[in-house]
Amino acid sequence: MKIFTWPVVAGAALGIVAPLLTYNGNPGNMGFCAACFLRDTAGAVGLHQASPLQYIRPEIIGLILGALISALFSKEFRPRGGSSPFIRIILGFFAMLGALTFLGCPWRAYLRLGGGDLTSIAGIVGLFAGVLGGIFFAKRDFSLGKAVEQNKYTSYIAIAVSVLLFISLITRFSFGEGLPIFFSEKGPGAQHANLWFSLSAGLLIGVLMQRSRFCSIGAFRNFILFRDSALLNGVIAIVVFAMITNALLGQFHLGLEKQPIAHNQYLWNFLGMALCGLCFSLGGGCPGKQLVHVGEGNNDATFFIVGMLLGAAAAHNFSLAASGAGISNYTPYALLAGFIFCLYIGFTRKGQR
């Protein structure tokens, strides 16, 4: 059995890079979180007004551009889309609500565990349950339809937006006297590593994730359906190398209490990530993979990411997101709506290729 496969290399790189980003300024156990960083970026462009959560995260931009570079080099840049774009937006929306209930995406769940945060276990179990739900619907011939080849210039739009966001970040570009881009002065949004280090980290992870076809959702699915452990080994590598790197940096803190940007409401950690796992399974992959797909020219993935940005906006504009103190009074209703939507499309989108 090969140990040093591309998924393991990609997982190990994420497990090393994320703690280094935390050591250099990113929030604790949040060195590289696709959902949290999309939330911060949504706040930076004014989609929500939670002032502690507003910063254009260069890691996200680097991830897209790194995937683009890798896809172009390997001739895997293939503009395509048209597979139920509206449904993908809604799936992305509810996936983000689930992530902001748990306070992290699948990548962060593993990184939290790699930092000693045992509260993440409930979320990882929930993620597994959500993937099982996705497998159930896949066996019933669930499909969002077949993507078709599209004009390559349409796929450059999302990439151009990413570049414009980066320009706005480094210049703090303004129209007249007002800043169109918001920057947190305190809170997680004000905690960030050096801009160029963050961008470089994103580029590296983007290249490796594209090259390895890494997906934290596919890791469970492939092992259950095909007994293929390649991606699962990559997930294990994230946890192991995050543990080692955090220990070397003095950032490993084992326990359930006082973990950074986490809460101890285990049922809601489980349910939040269960919704994530189901949405990501139905939508074709975890948020990291969706961002990589954006770099590969996949417009369907772009719609999913747009949904996540809108979900972040709704989560903080309407008090749906959890905090370190736990969920809000409205979080259960948001999760219920998400599960109902997933069940609806899971049972009705049968055999539509």
pLDDT of residue 172: 79
Alpha carbon separation from 279 to 35, 173, 198, 290, 340 (Å, rounded): 13, 35, 28, 12, 11
**Cα–Cα distance for residue pair 49/189, rounded to 1 Å:** 12
Q: Where are the chain's structural domains?
A: 6-348
**Cα–Cα distance for residue pair 205/138, rounded to 1 Å:** 29
Q: Which two tokens stand for residue 172?
A: 């703090």
**Residue type at 159 in one-letter notation:** I
Q: Which two tokens stand for residue 270?
A: 């489980």
**Cα–Cα distance for residue pair 269/282, rounded to 1 Å:** 20
pLDDT of residue 245: 98
pLDDT of residue 151: 87
Alpha carbon separation from 98 to 31, 64, 71, 288 (Å, rounded): 20, 23, 30, 16
322, 102 contact by CB (below 8 A): yes
Alpha carbon separation from 18 to 15, 98, 108, 173, 178 (Å, rounded): 6, 22, 9, 28, 34
pLDDT of residue 106: 96
Q: Give SS3 for 50.
A: coil
Which ranges of the chain have pLDDT less than 50? 176
pLDDT of residue 19: 98
Indicate the pTM of the whole model. Answer: 0.95
Q: Which two tokens stand for residue 154?
A: 């349409």
pLDDT of residue 179: 61
